[in-house]
């Protein structure tokens, strides 16, 4: 089944809508400079809301802290305070950062643009972590550019960048990722999640064959 992540959540209501509609993962932006940024204390409350909603539904949900070009010490402290399961590295973090986070018991998602992924793999780079291939400007609502992608990853990878309830089915059918990740595509305005769009996105993703 397609893995579905709703990212950039900042209210308990949005978290509950995502979990109750069947999201596999919910993400919280702990990197500065985004309209979706939340502090670790609020993220901890949102993590608790996600787990409560998942418990009521009789299943589990993955909680993800999204960081970007922060030090390992800062990332580790934020993840610990927020109580997340997973850290999503969305910048130029070295592989040593991912290694250290895994050693601390956290899962890791490595987010790259299609162009950056192609450049890295051309040098023989590979990652033991799940990959998320995003648009060149994350969170902008721009479409992922498959023209920059030489070849899709052989292991699990998730697609992000410009997805919405209207186009997620077409995108998945064309690229066959293992998962999808959406943020701006389920917003009524920049940084403000729309509960109806969250539900519609998950429903549309779940109907892809």
Catalytic residue positions, numbered:
7, 134
Q: What does the alpha-carbon distance between residue 145 and residue 200 come to, in Å, rounded to a whole number?
A: 24
- By C-alpha distance, which of 95, 96, 148 is closest to 126? 95
**Integer Cα distance of 134 and 102 in angstroms:** 22
Contact (Cβ atoms closer than 8 angstroms) between residue 192 and residue 186: no
Element (H, E) at 132: strand 130-134
């Amino acid at each position: 089944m397609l893995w579905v992540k709703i990212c950039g959540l900042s209210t308990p209501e949005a978290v509950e809508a995502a979990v109750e509609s069947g999201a596999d993962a919910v993400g919280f932006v702990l990197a500065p400079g985004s309209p979706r940024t939340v502090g670790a204390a609020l993220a901890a409350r949102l993590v608790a809301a996600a787990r409560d909603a998942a418990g009521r539904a009789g299943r589990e949900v993955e909680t993800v802290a999204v960081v970007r070009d922060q030090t390992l010490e800062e990332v580790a402290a934020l993840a610990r305070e927020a109580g997340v399961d997973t850290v999503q590295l969305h910048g130029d973090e070295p592989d040593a950062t991912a290694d250290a986070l895994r050693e601390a018991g956290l899962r890791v998602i490595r987010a790259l643009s299609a162009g950056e992924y192609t450049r890295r793999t051309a040098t023989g780079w590979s990652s033991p972590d799940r990959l998320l291939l995003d648009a060149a400007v994350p969170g902008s609502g721009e479409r992922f550019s498959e023209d920059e992608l030489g070849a899709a990853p052989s292991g699990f990878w998730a697609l992000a960048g410009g997805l919405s309830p209207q186009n997620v089915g077409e995108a998945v059918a064309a690229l066959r990722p293992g998962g999808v990740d959406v943020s701006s595509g389920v917003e009524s305005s920049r940084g403000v999640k729309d509960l109806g769009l969250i539900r519609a996105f998950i429903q549309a993703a779940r109907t892809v064959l």
